[in-house]
Amino acid sequence: MKIAAVRGFRDILPEESALWQVLESHARTSFAAYGFSEIIVPVLEKTELFARAIGETTDIVEKEMYTFIDRDESSLTLRPEGTASVIRAYIEHSLNHKEPVSKLFYIGPMFRRERPQKGRYRQFHQIGAEILGRDDPLIDAELLLMLNDLFQALQLDVSVDVNSLGCSECRPRFRESLRAFGESKLAQLCENCHNRLHRNPLRILDCKEPGCRQATVDAPVITDFLCDLCRQHFAKVQGYLQQENIAITVNPRLVRGLDYYCRTSFEIIAHGLGSQNAVCGGGRYDGLVEQLGGPAVPGIGFAIGVERLVMLLQAQERYLSNAPDVFIAPLGEAAEGRAFSLARRMRQEGYRVELEGGGRGLKAQMRRADKLNARHVLILGENELNAGKGTVRDMQTKTDRPMAVDLTLPAPAMINVIRNVND
Ligand code: AMP
């Protein structure tokens, strides 16, 4: 009997992994420009870390974690998110003594036992970043700016929802007001929201049930409850973004699934993904480092869902091409030897080169070049070898330029000639 992968866990095949590389390399470039360094943390942590960081009453901790008892009786969990581990490492290695501000990013798999569907898996991947050590609005704006740069570089059309969740001073008043409001609408709220009202009333704003959405249309909004400091902080974040012409939508209903957020919180929504359309979520978590036994250091971060972004990239034709820059078709043994070193020289310069040969005839090689969507083929037959010049075939126009390329040219110059011949 065949053995299939575990439900919600998937293989990423070469066609898709090529797009992961596109995403990852753009992310690394943006992160480097803003001064972030990579941190690589384990996928397995003590269960207690997530219970304390994410919050006992969140969906993740209550029912979605992959937790098991190890042979020494300790309870371990496959990480459902990255922030808790980064902070654990930050505290464990006293990174705050090394630098006043730590800008860290991570890339890797996360595990949540959710109901799998398109864009939602039990093993999925996140690219995340955290800034620890600064709580001024400039930092929040900078993080959003970096995300904006990244999405722009990927040419993806997204909208950014931003809210302020207040602080420990002002949020309790909002929570109580929301709870009272919910109590007055009990009959219209779903069972889940009845529970939420007692444990974490903010989450009723996040419920997807149409009845609950309807019932909470007139719910109190956090923006009316913010204390002066939170209000000023939020206004400044918006001011910096306006200054740079970054479009955001202030969405007072935005709350997040994890308990640790305060002040600036945000979500990035993509168009064309169906119901699982959030591609990035994040926000400020000023008390969290202390709560996990570390120094009183503020923090802010985000996590991007790799699978969902890759789905967006897949929908774009320009990312689909894995066509070689040049396809080399040698005819005969001597030509194959020459093609072998030509291909190497070009590849060393970073060009994608397909080399056929293997004693195959011109026709068979052209069929293969077509299949790979090669635009240009460099043909090396006996005449070409004698002249030291290759023939270029433009596969789109099906025309040849006999002896067009001097085979002694440096690789980049050769590629230029090959590409320009019939363009
Ligand atoms: P969160 O850590 O819940 O704030 O999620 C941040 C981002 O990770 C989301 O916006 C999604 O893009 C992605 N994500 C979260 N859960 C899943 C999942 N089960 N499958 C795929 N992507 C996910």
For ligand 1, atom 16, the nearest C-alpha belongs to 120
Q: Which fold has domain 14-170+226-318?
A: BirA Bifunctional Protein; domain 2 (3.30.930)
Candidate from 61, 120, 122 with most ligand 1 atoms within 8 A of CB, to mutate: 120
> Is the CB of residue 179 less than 8 Å from the CB of residue 220?
no
CA distances to 82, 87, 292, 409 from 47, rounded to whole Å, are 14, 15, 13, 61
Average pLDDT, the chain: 92
For ligand 1, atom 1, the nearest C-alpha belongs to 281
Q: What is the pLDDT of residues 31-84, one digit of tens each?
A: 999 999 999 999 999 999 999 998 887 889 989 999 999 999 999 999 999 999
The residue with tokens 């012409």 is 245
Return the pLDDT at 83.
96
Specify the ligand 1 atom closest to the Cα of 304: 7
Q: What is the pLDDT of residues 302-323, one digit of tens each?
A: 999 999 999 999 887 666 667 8
Beta bridge partners of 105: 38, 129
> What count of residues does the chain have?
423
Return the pLDDT at 315.
81
Question: Residues with Cβ < 8 Å from 192, sequence gap 6 or more?
Answer: 207, 209
Spacing, Cα 301 to ligand 1 middle (Å): 14
Spacing, Cα 8 to ligand 1 middle (Å): 14
> What average pLDDT score do residues 155-159 get?
90
Spacing, Cα 121 to ligand 1 middle (Å): 9
For ligand 1, atom 13, the nearest C-alpha belongs to 305
Q: How confident is the model at residue 257 (pLDDT cuts 50, 70, 90)?
A: low
421 has a pLDDT exceeding 50: no
Spacing, Cα 306 to ligand 1 middle (Å): 9
Candidate from 64, 124, 312 with most ligand 1 atoms within 8 A of CB, to mutate: 124
Spacing, Cα 392 to ligand 1 middle (Å): 48
Specify the ligand 1 atom closest to the Cα of 282: 4
For ligand 1, atom 5, the nearest C-alpha belongs to 281
DSSP conformational letter for 4: P
Spacing, Cα 279 to ligand 1 middle (Å): 7
Domain boundaries, the chain: 14-170+226-318, 323-419
Candidate from 150, 269, 276 with most ligand 1 atoms within 8 A of CB, to mutate: 276
- Count the helices and strands in the chain (H runs, E runs): 16, 16
The residue with tokens 């709870």 is 179
Spacing, Cα 80 to ligand 1 middle (Å): 10
Return the pLDDT at 93.
97
Measured CA to CA, the distance from residue 207 to residue 255 in angstroms comes to: 10
Angle subtended at Cα 410 by Cα 26 and Cα 369, rounded to the nearest 5 degrees: 65
Tell me the two tokens of residue 106. 């991570």
Tell me the two tokens of residue 89. 């490492």
State the DSSP string of 199-225: H-GGGGGG---HHHHHHTTT---GGGT
> How many other C-beta atoms can be found within 10 angstroms of the C-beta atom of residue 114?
16
CA distances to 179, 279, 375 from 317, rounded to whole Å, are 48, 20, 16
Is 62 exposed, middle or buried (CB count within 10 Å of its CB: 0-12, 13-18, 19+)? middle
Spacing, Cα 418 to ligand 1 middle (Å): 45
> What average pLDDT score do residues 195-213 get?
87
Specify the ligand 1 atom closest to the Cα of 308: 12
Spacing, Cα 237 to ligand 1 middle (Å): 24
Residues with CB under 6 A from ligand 1: 81, 112, 114, 119-121, 124, 126, 257, 278-281, 303, 305, 307-308
For ligand 1, atom 8, the nearest C-alpha belongs to 305
> Which run of H or of E encompasses 263?
strand 262-270
Strand order in the sheet with 389-394: 353-355, 326-330, 376-380, 389-394, 399-406
* pTM (predicted TM-score): 0.82
Phi, psi of 117 (to 5 degrees): -160, 180
259 has a pLDDT exceeding 80: no
Spacing, Cα 135 to ligand 1 middle (Å): 25
Question: Under CATH, which number does the domain 323-419 receive?
Answer: 3.40.50.800
